[in-house]
Each structure stands twice: as structure tokens, then as C-alpha cells.
Amino acid sequence: MAATNDIQYKFPEGFWWGSAASATQTEGAADIDGKGQNIWDYWYEVEPNRFFNGVGPDKTSQFYYKYKEDIKLMKEIGHNSFRMSISWSRLIPNGNGEVNPKAVEFYNNVINELIDNGIEPFVGLFHFDMPMEMQKIGGWESREVVDAYEAYATTCFELFGDRVKKWFTHNEPIVPVEGGYLYDFHYPNVVDFGKAVQVAFNTILSSAKAIKAYRELNQDGKIGIVLNLTPSYPRSKNPADVKASIICDAFFNRSFLDPSVKGEFPEELVQILKAEGFMPQYEAEDLEVIKNNTIDLLGVNYYQPRRVKAKENLPNPEAPFMPERYFDYYVMAGRKMNPHRGWEIYEKGIYDILINLKENYGNIECYISENGMGVEGEEKFRDENGIIQDDYRIEFIEEHLKWVHRAIQEGSNVKGYHLWTFMDNWSWTNAYKNRYGFVSVNLDKDGERTIKKSGQWFKTVSANNGF
């Protein structure tokens, strides 16, 4: 352990050190012990060619069987907190109706094991994994599904809320909107902006309804949402570029941030939806529910910036309406890259998000719920002792943490940092193409776990509460 006087970046007492994962990406056991199908199980069944190397969600990291071993490793590398998610289709196989006792037993065991190891469970209710029976009746397009989700959330609070004191209604809710209803990278592969708007509205409504249900139970915890806040940086100070970045931000960040924190939707976005004829259907009391049930705690996921400029060309009048009708993306000259993943690395973005939350969102209590570096072909960095020497990941985390530290010095109400992810996991259509974990998972050796160099480094950071 480093001597205390060697610590340059000291974090506040009680800072949350840990990582995040999701049910579908880690549990495995996709069709046993009463679990119902979710959209990923179904999509893999009908279109396995959509998934990298044909690897599906049944082959994920087998946390369902290895959770005790995994939680022991979490403790070993310095976790005092861990964000997991509950699989709606495991707990309530049809999405609405009977609760699966095997699932209750599993999640009780996991939560208790975490607490017994001094790790606080942060629990998400929805991480992209719509039960297939719910998708069949429209998914988030359907009010019936919103009501079913509220009942599911209430069930989770009643079953686990005596021990779980940090709840999150959704993870990155803009992603199912983009992936499922705009850009064709999630099931149901619909390209329809009007449906996308309805899905987004109903998702926000479902979040507010879950928050309302939670507060009515008086369980003395906190409830929030996890948003991927990707700053939209304009190419220049030219008013046209700046306007493009503001509109982009309204579509992809403020669409969920404003209603979650302020209980209202961004005016720029509402004006566009009205002008283009894409306002969602809703009932008058829906807006009151959203207004009166805002979050206690915000999870912030940050990976890379979004760089935006004014439109260069007129859009194709025959093409489906897309947000990009109002802006173009551009590649910034000289940008720093993750060569293993093809994403820009811009550490200051994490600071800009936190300062924006401080200045424009009441300095809401928040934490970095995901940040991480994906690497394809990471095995090439494994040394003769079997340890992956991921110095690039250590540098990535360090440089982001320096900016988090600076935001704290300037008054940001940020309470923790969770890496994506604890162990290498299955990543939606990319399967195991990119590795993100503190812990390596060897699929050829029954998912054998090995702590990477970054995991050992993180242990000392957590122990010293800084570096």
C-alpha cells in the first residue's frame, strides 16, 4: 500500500469504489430455473448471425453459478459497492404475473453475499432486457408494459428493499430508443422516429411511476436512474455549430436528464417534436407523475464525447426522419484514440458533465456509474504468469479520476466511481469481442477468472481512497 503522504489525489471519506455489470451480460443460465425469455434470448435464437462469432446470451459469464467466487474477487480488489441488475424475465418470467421462487432465492443469495463481504449492492431494475412476452404486446410502446414494469419494480422493492438502499429504474434508457427504434442495433429493429418518441416517453413515465411506488413504501433508501451523458461539443463557436450541439444534446442527453432531475422536458426538443409532428401520446396526469417523482441519485455513464457541427448537406427527403436532420457529426483533428476499440478518449468530458450537473441540475447527488476501456484481442497482453498487463486501462482510469477529483474540489456532489465492468462479459451484439473487466474471463477454461493488473492497482486505490 502506498504511504498516505504519496497520495496526490485523495477522495472524500466514504467514496464508492467498485464496478458495474448487468444480468443478461453476466448471469448465463438463460433458460433454466424458470427464467422466461427476454428479447436477447429470442433475437439470438432467430438471428444468431447478428452476434459476434455467433456467441449468444446463454454463454455469458456464468455469474448465476459463480457469484460466490466472483463476490470474493470483488472484495479482494477493493470493492465497497457494486451495481448489478435484476432480470425482469428471471424474476417474473412472463413480465407480468407469477414470481419465480428460484429467482428470488438467487437474488437474495447474491444481495446477502455482497453485504456479508462489505459490498453495498446498487441494484438496477432494467438494463436493456425486456421480457419477450412484454415485447410481444409492444414493449415500451405499450402502456400495459409500463404498468407491468411498475408492478415488477414494486415486487423488487418488497422482496429486497430491506437490504438494498440504492435503486436505479433504468440503465441508459436512450440506448433501447436508439438501438431498437432508430439505428437498428437492438431488437426489435424498428426504424421509426414516431415510435422512438413514444418509447422514450413511456420509459420516463415508467421510471417516475417506479419512483412513486418506491417512496410510498417508505424504505429509507435512494432511488435514481443511470444515464449515459455524452457531452455534445460543437466544432466551433460559430452560432450554427453551437445550435447544432444544443439540439443534439437535447435529443440524446437532456431528453432523459431533464425529466429525471427537473420533472420537465427540454423546450428545444418539444418544439422540434411539435414542428415535425412527432409528439407522443400521453394522458394529462402523466406529466404530473413525471413532475412530482424525480430522482434522488443520478448514475453517470461516460465513455467518449460526441462532436457535432452544423449540417453540411440537405437531408434525403426520402429517408426516415432522424435526429441527424438537425446536425452532423465530425471527427476532431488530433483526437486521442483507444486504438483497440476505435473510440475517442477525452478525459475532461467527465469533468464537464459533473460541472454541468452542479451548475444546471441543482448539484444533484451523483456518481460515475460506468466508465471503461474496451480492448479487442486483450489476450496478447497476458504475461508468462498469466496476468493481463493492462497498463492502458490503469492510465485510462487514472486520467478520468483526476478530472473527477478536480470536479470534487470545485464542489461537485459526486460520490463514487464504478468501472465498466467487474469481469469481462458478454456485450450485446459484440458478445466477447471487447474486454472491459478488472478480471479476465477465459471462455476456453470454463470461464476461469484471473485478476488483471488493473484489478490489483484498483485494490490499492480503494485501500488508500486515492492515488
Residues 150, 178, 370, 378: which is the catalytic one?
Answer: 370
- In the chain the first and final C-alpha atoms are separated, in Å, by 10
Query: Rounded to 5 degrees, what are φ and ψ at 274?
Result: -65, -45
Does the annotation mark 172 as catalytic?
Answer: yes
Q: Is residue 105 flagged as an active site residue?
A: no
Catalytic residue among 27, 133, 150, 172: 172
Residues in the chain: 467
Count the neighbouring beta carbons within 10 Å of the beta carbon of residue 31.
12
Q: What is the largest CA-CA distance in the chain?
A: 64
Q: Which of 212, 293, 226, 286 is nearest to 256 (CA)?
A: 226
Q: Is 420 exposed, middle or buried (0-12, 13-18, 19+ CB in 10 A)?
A: buried
**Lateral strand order in the sheet of 306-309:** 232-234, 306-309, 328-329
Contact at 8 Å (CB) between 193 and 322? yes
- Here the cell at position 127 is 438494463
What is the Cα–Cα distance from 445 to 264, expressed in whole angstroms? Answer: 50
Handedness of CA 259, 264, 266, 269 (dihedral sign): positive
Active site residues: 172, 370
